[in-house]
Structure 1
Amino acid sequence: MKTSGRSVRCGLVGNIQGYSTEDGPGIRTTVFLMGCPLRCRWCSNPEFLKPEPVTMVFGNGQQRVGEWMSPDTLTERLLRDRIFYEESDGGVTFSGGEAASQAEFVLACARLLHKEGIHVCLDTSGCCDARSFSALLSGVDLVLFDLKAADPMLHKALTGRDNAQILENLSILGASRIPWRLRLVVVPGCNDARTDLELRLQTAAGLANPPEAVDVLLYHSLGEGKYAALGLPYSLHAVPAPDPGLKEWVQDRARALGLQPGWFG
């Protein structure tokens, strides 16, 4: 299997997770790519933040994260799970890190997968230049768009960057015909204010191509041990308990705006 046209450089793959059921429809293989421009305080995959291989230290053991792979090599690896995709209407999801940080590589892989009839999903924060984002939309079948916060100052405080470029790309997605789902990662004490959640829902609902569903993902601390393994500080040791009625409230507000709750809603 060879890519057509000019050669596409290798991509840096952090992990390949088979039998995934939470990153798109059906049974999927999720490809976690290295590199992300955001530094979300609640990030559960800090090992994928840098655009270079990293070493994690667990006790007396070390784990190297990050492998350079060509589009052909990665696609051949992903096709090993073809039977699962076909039997469940699943496919491949590109995540991260931020998959859009390696847009050219993702697009090359997506084209190869499409030649084999494989469904391709992009899981993204939308934090990339508009040209790269538009190019990616031409090569994927579904987008999972994680909107961290609507307020630009809050977004910068929580992630290190404002959301101007993200909202521009959301508008591009909203003017396209690509199916997509809005993802709301809700972290108590950070981005769980109902005013901001309402604004995120309203922004999505007001697009010409609104999301087909809204997925609510509540914060978890499963990634905390990775920070110690990387020698990094973890800033969310004392996260307050989530509002027990918040998930239902988001569901109700989504329905009121003509949106459907999703897998995690």
Structure 2
Amino acid sequence: MKNVASFSQATIMVVGTLLALPALAENDHAGTAAQANNPLANMTAFSLQNYYIGDINDSDETANQFWLRFATPFSLGDSRWLLRTSLPINSYPTAPGGHSETGLGDLNTFASYLFDTGSSKISFGIGPQVTAPTASEDTLGSEQWSAGLVNVLFNAESAKFQYGYLAGWQHSFAGDDDRENVNSATLQPFAYYQLGNGNYLRGAPIWSYNFENDNYSVPLGLGIGHIVRQGKTLYNFTFEPQFSVVEEGPAPDWQVVVGLSMQFLQ
């Protein structure tokens, strides 16, 4: 009960802080707020995102994953692409009793070809992804080279409600023979409801399925975000508690996602 009370107090404090941040200028509301969460936005972006895992299924252990993520658009001839690279700093339990290992995880990069949808408010992309075994400790990564595909949709036709998904699949093709092969899929549905003045409600959980051992995780989340524009930089602060609906294998029973994304407007 003490942990629940502390979590509730922290949630109230974070939400209050976000709402107290400077409001997005009135003339920025419609276009800027609607595109602020577009993973295929035609601008360079850098984000920091932290997943605090308060309880791992069947273990009562905690963990943490901090993501550094960089995205930038580029062109190949007449085609438009988006390159996104993500590097986690993992802190995972390695033995019962609270001992954990902390260090770099595996580096993931994908390049998404951006289709011409006929509308500047609908983004759709698909392309290859590669994960490199860059973990600083064996327990913090897969020790496998993996490759696969990523597909992204973002619909911002409504200035009030935006939605989409990011789907991915990858399979290992080289690496440590003593480690389990990678054959996994993820689906991240996301939805954003604009409240005005730069505030919005959000839900962006990541669902996963491991084809090697049939482990899976399906969380749901409801959080809040706040957008602030300073000059040509768009700051997007987010806070989202997530709770598992169904799961099999080691997966978070609950986690809290806190993030800051910076988009550099042209």
- TM-score clears 0.5: no
Higher percent of residues as strand: 2
Query: TM-score if structure 2 supplies the norm length?
Result: 0.32
Query: TM-score if structure 1 supplies the norm length?
Result: 0.32
Higher percent of residues as helix: 1
